[in-house]
């Protein structure tokens, strides 16, 4: 992966270096030509100026543009024409007019050749950055894993590199540490944050014989884990493989310009040759014939074509950046217009991705404040995320003293406050301590069926209230989903959560199609199924979403999520707001419209002016002006994108 990363970085650096050198030589050429042709100030005599332009242009055309010209020339003998074919044709012919002008009375266009190449190189540099580093998400996935682990050797504890661990080794994982590799708990109890793998916001309680996954984070207890999978067999390695496979099978969108140039290039070449032959045959004037064919070639030079897509993409991406939408891959702009279904991850995308207290309820003479104070005082000694949510909600300056504090793994906590026995936890904890839950069963059922976790609070074996905790919906999720539906998109929600929780969230935001209990590889598989009936955009934020983000026709990643999800996405929403997906869809469509319009204007001048050039009515200088005008039109039209409201 390091080699791939270095190759991608070097490609970006290569185009940047070419861009700098191209403009170092092209800017003096532009100054010389503008001084002479616009302001009438001749810095040199005609022949000397031609020699200067040829000298300055040679490095741009034949050194900076060597690979482009080589690729373009290949198109002529393989009959596979692309953008390079146009660039090679335009720059070489324009450059050699300068050499011919020294010996024949021809217009010198050698200065134009370096300008064409400089604009083309600028576009390639923009394109290299827009594509992003296609495999960097793989590197980020690899970095998620622990680099070292503490294992037991005999009776001692030793820290070793992850590569030295063998199946059967016992790993010690303390609170806050990453679990090094997949394994099984042989001693200890703890809650483990698996959200980066499963997408579940709630931590999973682990005890003896529980399976754990490498790269997940241990929360509040020491675990002794026997390694059961190493190397390429681990769960994380499997996720990496899924992303790699999806990436390799995703066919790049064929560029519109390439489709057009495959016909345009041979057509223009044929027209230029026929024009030269006809004028030479009928007039016998080689200078006139060559001048007309040069006019045809110059007016067909693809300066504006090279700018058509990059300029619209630059303006669109700039607008997006100001609105929290980062377009990482240009293909997404074209693909977005064909999207029929939006698939939304639940945790961290529709919801906030972390547990929060939604309600505090008291029974009897107890107040909600008293229930919350008792619960937060005892939970203040716990590191469990649900306990942290309760403490955060209480916001007390002073907590009651707790004695005999004990964590009951998977059930809750208990202790003594002011001589009274306190329990905070689920029904299993209450029953274990001989506390009846009969009076609250119906209430608990209604809360749990709506996807909320309820923590009962008891005092001296009597339930005094409960606290409901849930992963709350983001403020704008309902509005964003409603707008997507109004725009004609089908909406589906996919999650690793259970059916009850998933259905509850879906009902709140108006989503009918729900796919729950899905593992990471399952998400990508579900996307494949939906792609059979249309193009799919996937919106997600977790590591578990990476394969689906890559599989989808357009992957939209929440910028508040993990780095791997961001790198796997074609579009990134930096604000983490689902409304950004609506804006991204509108912006992509608007930008693609501008690209199409730019391509139209890039060729409109050719369609109108080439016949006049063939007829001898357009002087090569006018052809040059028309070519420049087409570029100005393209740039101006791209900037009109700023007026679009998204």
Q: In what order do the strands lie in the sheet with 190-193?
A: 204-206, 190-193, 217-218
DSSP string, 90-144: HHHHHHHHHHHHHHSS----HHHHHHHHHHHHHHHHHHHHHH--TTHHHHHHHHH
Both tokens of 346, joined, read 């639940």
Length reported for the chain? 646
Q: Helix 579-614 to helix 256-283 angle, to the nearest 10 degrees?
A: 10
Rounded to whole angstroms, what are the CA distances from 91 to 80, 87, 120? 19, 6, 10
Nearest to 64 by CA among 100, 128, 116, 108: 116
CB 64 within 8 A of CB 18: yes
Distances (CA, A) of 13 to 125, 235, 309, 424: 9, 35, 21, 59
Torsion-angle region of 428 (φ positive above 0: left; ψ -120 to 50: alpha; else: beta): alpha
CA 367, 371, 374, 376: dihedral to nearest 10 degrees?
-130
* CA-based nearest residue to 64, from 120, 10, 109: 120
Contacts of 180 (CB under 8 A, 6+ apart): 145, 146, 148, 149, 162, 165, 171, 173, 214, 227
Burial of 448 (0-12, 13-18, 19+ CB in 10 A): middle
Catalytic residue among 84, 169, 182, 345: 345
Instruction: Give the residue from 362, 356, 360, 396 showing the smallest Cα distance to 376.
Output: 396
DSSP string, 255-311: PHHHHHHHHHHHHHHHHHHHHHHHHHHHH--HHHHHHHHHHHHHHT--HHHHHHHHH
Q: Is the dihedral of CA 431, 436, 442, 448 positive or negative?
A: negative
State the Cα–Cα distance between residues 494 and 256, nearest whole angstrom.
34
Calculate the alpha carbon distances from 165 to 153, 161, 215, 238 in Å: 11, 7, 15, 18
Task: Check the CA dihedral 276-281-286-289 and report its sign.
Answer: negative
Cα-based distances in Å from 7 to 11, 21, 360, 447, 556: 6, 21, 56, 54, 26
Question: Of the candidates 314, 271, 353, 316, which has an alpha carbon nearest to the alpha carbon of residue 614?
Answer: 271
Instruction: Respond yes or no: is residue 169 known to be catalytic.
Output: no
Instruction: Enter the DSSP assignment of 177.
Output: P
Question: How far is it, in rounded angstroms, from Cα 20 to Cα 30?
Answer: 15
Active site residue ranges? 345
């Amino acid at each position: 992966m390091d080699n791939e990363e270095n190759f991608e970085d070097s490609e970006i650096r290569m185009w940047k270096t070419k861009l700098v050198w191209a403009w170092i030589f092209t800017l003096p050429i532009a100054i010389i030509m503008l001084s002479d042709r616009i302001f009438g100030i001749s810095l040199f005599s005609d022949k000397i100026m031609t020699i200067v332009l040829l000298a300055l242009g040679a490095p741009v055309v034949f050194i900076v543009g060597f690979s482009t010209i080589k690729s373009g020339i290949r198109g002529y003998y393989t009959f596979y024409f692309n953008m390079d074919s146009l660039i090679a044709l335009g720059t070489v012919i324009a450059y050699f007019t300068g050499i011919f002008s020294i010996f024949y009375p021809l217009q010198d266009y050698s200065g134009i050749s370096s300008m064409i190449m400089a604009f083309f190189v600028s576009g390639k540099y923009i394109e290299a950055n827009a594509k992003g580093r296609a495999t960097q998400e793989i590197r980020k996935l690899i970095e998620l894993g622990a680099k070292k682990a503490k294992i037991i050797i005999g009776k001692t504890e030793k820290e070793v590199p992850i590569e030295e661990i063998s199946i059967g080794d016992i790993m010690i994982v303390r609170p806050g540490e990453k679990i090094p590799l997949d394994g099984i708990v042989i001693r200890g109890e703890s809650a483990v944050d698996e959200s980066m793998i499963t997408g579940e916001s709630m931590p999973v309680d682990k005890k003896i014989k529980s399976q754990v996954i490498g790269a997940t984070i241990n929360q509040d207890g020491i675990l002794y884990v026997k390694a059961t999978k190493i190397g390429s067999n681990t769960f994380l390695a499997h996720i990496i493989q899924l992303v790699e496979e999806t990436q390799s099978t995703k066919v790049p969108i064929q560029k519109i310009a390439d489709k057009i140039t495959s016909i345009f290039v041979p057509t223009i070449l044929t027209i230029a040759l026929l024009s030269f032959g006809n004028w030479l045959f009928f007039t016998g004037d080689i200078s006139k014939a060559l001048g007309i064919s040069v006019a045809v070639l110059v007016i067909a030079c693809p300066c504006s074509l090279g700018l058509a897509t990059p300029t619209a993409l630059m303006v669109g991406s700039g607008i997006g950046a100001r609105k929290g939408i980062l377009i990482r891959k240009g293909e997404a702009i074209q693909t977005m217009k064909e999207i029929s279904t939006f698939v939304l991850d639940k945790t961290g995308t529709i919801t906030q991705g972390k547990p929060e207290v939604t309600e505090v309820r008291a029974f009897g003479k107890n107040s909600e404040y008293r229930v919350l104070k008792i619960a937060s005082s005892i939970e203040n000694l716990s590191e469990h995320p649900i306990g942290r949510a309760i403490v955060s909600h209480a916001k007390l300056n002073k907590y009651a003293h707790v004695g005999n504090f004990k964590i009951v793994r998977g059930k809750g906590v208990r202790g003594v406050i002011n001589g009274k026995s306190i329990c905070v936890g689920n029904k299993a904890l209450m029953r274990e301590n001989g506390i009846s839950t009969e009076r609250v069963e119906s209430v608990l059922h209604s809360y749990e069926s709506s996807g909320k976790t309820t923590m009962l609070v008891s005092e001296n074996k009597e339930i005094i209230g409960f606290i409901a905790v849930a992963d709350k919906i983001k403020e704008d999720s309902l509005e964003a989903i409603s707008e997507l539906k109004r725009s004609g998109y089908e909406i589906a929600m996919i999650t690793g959560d259970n059916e009850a929780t998933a259905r509850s969230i879906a009902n709140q935001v108006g989503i009918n199609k729900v796919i729950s209990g899905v593992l990471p590889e399952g998400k990508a598989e579900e996307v494949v199924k939906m792609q059979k009936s249309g193009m799919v955009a996937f919106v997600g934020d977790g590591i578990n979403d990476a394969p689906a983000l890559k599989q989808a026709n357009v992957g939209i990643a929440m910028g508040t999520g993990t780095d791997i999800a961001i790198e796997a996405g074609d579009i990134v929403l930096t604000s983490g707001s689902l409304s950004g997906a609506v804006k991204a869809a509108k912006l992509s469509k608007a930008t693609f419209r501008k690209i199409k319009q730019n391509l139209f204007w890039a060729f409109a001048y050719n369609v109108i002016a080439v016949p006049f050039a063939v007829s001898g009515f357009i002087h090569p200088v006018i052809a040059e002006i028309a070519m420049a005008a087409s570029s100005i039109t393209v740039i101006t039209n791209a900037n009109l994108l700023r007026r679009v409201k998204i």
